Amino acid sequence: MTRRARWLIPSSVLLAASAVCISAGCNDTGAPPLQTVPQAKPGQDADDIVQTPTADEKKVAMERLDKAIKAHGGPEQMRKLTTHVEILKGQIITARWGLVQADQELRLDLTDRLRLRVTASTPDGKQDIVIAIDKGKAWMSNAGIVHNIPGDVYNSVIEELHYRRIMMLLPLKEPEFIVRPIDGEKVNGKPTSGIRVGSKDHRSINLYFDDESGLLVRTLHPAWLEGDKVQRRDVLLLEHKPFGGLKLPSAIIDKRDGSIWLDCKADYRFEKQFDPKDFAQP
């Protein structure tokens, strides 16, 4: 009898899919569910709506954005993030064992390809999970066996791609995004200035930049869960260091409703282009 995966930790980020597979195992060989991009729903919280800024507000927001782009290395260097690899080492959440040690490799070919490989050390031994999306085609594997991705997890991966594109900062100058200034909040005891980013069919995301350096040090947004449920996703981007002409965080803490989901050190590698096979389903 086929045992279906128990999706115990649905979340807005692709890490959850791998975390659940690590904890429960994934042997879903049924027909793939309907996979659609999540649409904006009536009655969303006011914080999910970015009102059109006034001319003065837009000017302030763009000044903050330009300062951040410059702080991270400038437009030419920031374009490297279009095709890059993140190597993450540290703790991730699992449904069964809580936080465990794991090595992760995240390949990003923005805006439509992503592949995450997680090798976690658990009480049951090493667990190896891959989750990927290739131009709308989504798949995952556990111990080399390929599985379908449930609809909620698919939507989470789509939202993660959107989030990663926003983290590039450069796309925020494009007309699809509404950007307005917001009050800053202290991060590690230091003052920040913020912007709120909105776009059609996606929840708004707050970005906070260190007042002195201009570096992006925190993101905050409602994270999609199954159905209409959301969590408060709060990501701290710390200990910025030079990586190939860019200044990027070498420590990342991802919290959900105040609980740590990921706490890791980060390294980066930049690629001119990826082999399409890196993302294609085996």
10 lies in some domain: no
**Does residue 41 sit within a domain?**
no
Task: State the Cα–Cα distance between residues 18 and 21, nearest whole angstrom.
Answer: 5
Kindly state whether residue 92 falls inside one of the protein's structural domains: yes
Domain span including residue 224: 15-36+48-270
Inside any domain, residue 135: yes
The residues, ordered by sequence, that sit 6+ positions from 200 with a Cβ below 8 Å of its Cβ are 40, 176
pLDDT reported for residue 58: 96
Q: Check residue 225 and give its pLDDT.
A: 60
38: nearest Cα among 8, 7, 6, 12: 12
For residues 145 and 215, what is the distance between their CA atoms, to the nearest angstrom? 41
SS3 content of the chain, % helix, strand, coil (to 5): 20, 45, 35
In whole angstroms, what is the distance from residue 67 CA to residue 121 CA? 40
Residue 153 lies in a domain: yes
Q: What is the mean pLDDT of each run of 10 residues along the chain (282 residues)?
A: 29 45 47 32 47 93 98 98 97 90 96 94 93 91 86 81 95 95 96 95 93 98 70 95 98 95 97 94 90
Residue 260 lies inside a defined structural domain of this protein: yes
Supply the pLDDT for residue 51: 79
Q: What is the CATH number of the domain that holds 21?
A: 2.50.20
Instruction: Say how many domains are in the chain.
Output: 1
* DSSP assignment string, 73-91: T-HHHHGGGGEEEEEEEEE
Instruction: Return the exposure string of 57-94: e unless at least 16 CB atoms fall within 10 Å of the residue's CB, then b.
Output: beebbbebbebbbebbbeeebbebbbbbbbebebbbbb
In a domain, 104, yes or no: yes
CB hemisphere CA count around 70 (13 angstroms): 10
Residue 90 confidence (pLDDT): 97
What pLDDT score was predicted for residue 34?
Answer: 29
Does 110 fall in a domain?
yes
The pair of structure tokens assigned to 185 is: 């909040």
pLDDT of 15: 54
| Confidence (pLDDT) at 157 | 83
**For residues 89 and 98, what is the distance between their CA atoms, to the nearest angstrom?**
16
Measured distance CA(269)–CA(80) in Å, rounded: 9
pLDDT of residue 39: 37
